Amino acid sequence: MKERLDYRLIFNWEKAWDKAKQIMEGLNLKSEKTINDILEYEHVIKLTSKLEGISDEWKKHISEFEECIKQINELVGRYFGCIENQNCKQIYDELELIYKEDFWELFEKYKVFKKIDPFVFEDIIMNSTCSIYHILGRKCVVQNYSEAIKHYFMRHWDAAKILLDKNETFLTKRNKGIYLPELSREEINQIFMNYIDAPYANINILETIMNICFSNELPISNKVKLAAKKRRDVLVKEVMEGKNGVKVDYGICVSFRDNTELLEEEKKNNCIY
């Protein structure tokens, strides 16, 4: 797998520009392109836009490729215009990790969601390696696939952390620009119960759930809070007694688990987070 351009991970502008120039000079509009080729072209566009804001000298360099940049923009638009139900999941599954967030950005920009049925979208988020956070930052995508995303939330135990992120009760840098599907009070409480019952429940997050103030955004019932307290007490006791993980004498060692797992795939183990 060749090293791709990623304008977000650049520490040397000159080296990045050389890479972008190489890509532009090798542009062949007639050759077949993969989704990763297309998204690399998009990173060329973003890099040139970034460099233009740095100095007039960079503007001068970039102006020499003005026609090429225009062609790349058109190429990216045409490619996303050809995404449809039959090829959407296959295209997504071919994505390299560094470009998965970019895919959803352009999915929204070119209004691909107007052509892709909810069952295709749901198949991707349920069965492909997909970060739901990449999608939740796209308002139009969330609005268009509200039911599919709701199904995702009900089947993934750590959807509770997303609700906490959104409402800024669980401090994280990811709480900005998160859009959620419409959820009933019962669904919200069930999402939290799913988390409380999960084998990977985190003591700190359980404490957060215990102390949530009732609001329209998070109408957490007393039943859920009590369940969180009971589970938290059990986990604390197990850690202190050394029944799971490493026994500690003066505190509780916790860590945050960042990926999502389907409820039915959960397997109990001896690790307490």
Residue 87 has a pLDDT of: 97
Residue 253 has a pLDDT of: 43
68: nearest Cα among 22, 1, 110, 132: 22
Distance separating alpha carbons of residues 28 and 41, to the nearest angstrom? 12
Residue 241 has a pLDDT of: 84
Distance separating alpha carbons of residues 175 and 167, to the nearest angstrom? 8
Question: Vertex 120, ends 117 and 121: CA angle to 5°?
Answer: 90
Which pTM does this prediction carry? 0.81
Distance separating alpha carbons of residues 4 and 9, to the nearest angstrom? 11
Residue 158 has a pLDDT of: 81
Residue 215 has a pLDDT of: 85
Q: Which residue ranges of the chain lie beneath pLDDT 70?
A: 1, 168-176, 243-273
Give 136: exposed, middle or buried? Use CB within 10 Å, 0-12, 13-18, 19+: buried
Q: What is the pLDDT of residues 196-236, one digit of tens each?
A: 999 999 999 999 999 998 888 889 999 999 999 999 999 99
Handedness of CA 120, 122, 126, 130 (dihedral sign): positive
| Mean pLDDT estimate for the chain | 87
